[in-house]
Amino acid sequence: MTPSTRAASPGRLKNKTLAAWMALIGGCFGWHRLYLHGWSDKWALAHAIPTVLGFWGVDRVLAYGQDDKLSWLLLPLLGFSIAAACLTGILYALQTPEAWNRTYNPGADPEASAGQTRWLTIIALVLALMVGSMAFMAGIAFSFQRFFEYQVALGLQMSQ
């Protein structure tokens, strides 16, 4: 029996608030996917790969400075993966209880408490908006800054 065809018992209901917090805190490593879909979920690994590459970019900036061209490509991956995880947390928090329970708790009552929006869900939503937008904007700002500095350096080389 697959998880989607199995009727949800009260002890196995997937909680929307917990999923939103897992997306906010560890979503860039796929924690929310592991919680909702189990250890066999291949997309959880897809979240972790760009995050690890982004942290490698941070390490390269610390080791070689901001002029390291590989870090220009790697570092924005961290910001974008954090932003994607926060967007997922926002989507989880905004789902109606009926939609949540239909998707993640099949067979459960559409108004089951696991899909209800609570204050902790709203707090996760607000934090995901703040953290996600900051990470996304930082990734874009770093990328464009390094790109235009590189273009200026090339222009100076050509003019000499």
The tens digit of pLDDT for each residue in 28-63 reads 999 999 999 999 998 888 899 999 999 999 999 899
Section 93-106 average pLDDT: 93
Threshold 0.85, pTM exceeds = no
8 pLDDT more than 60:
no
Q: In the chain, where does DSSP find H-type helix?
A: 16-26, 31-37, 42-64, 69-94, 97-104, 119-159
Mean pLDDT of 85-96: 96
Mean pLDDT of 91-114: 92
pLDDT of amino acid 139: 86
Coil, helix or strand at residue 145: helix
> What's the confidence (pLDDT) of residue 153?
84
Say which DSSP state 111 is in. T
pLDDT of residue 11: 60
Q: Tell me the angle at which helices 119-159 and 69-94 cross, rounded to the nearest 10 degrees.
A: 160
Mean pLDDT, rounded, of the chain: 88
Over range 15-25, report the average pLDDT: 96
Q: Is the pLDDT of residue 6 over 50?
A: no
Two tokens, residue 58: 């941070």
Q: What is the pLDDT of residue 29?
A: 95
User: Using 50, 70 and 90 to split pLDDT, how confident is the model at 156?
Assistant: confident
Q: CA 47 to CA 81: how far, in whole Å? A: 7
Backbone φ and ψ for 7, nearest 5 degrees, come out as -70, 135
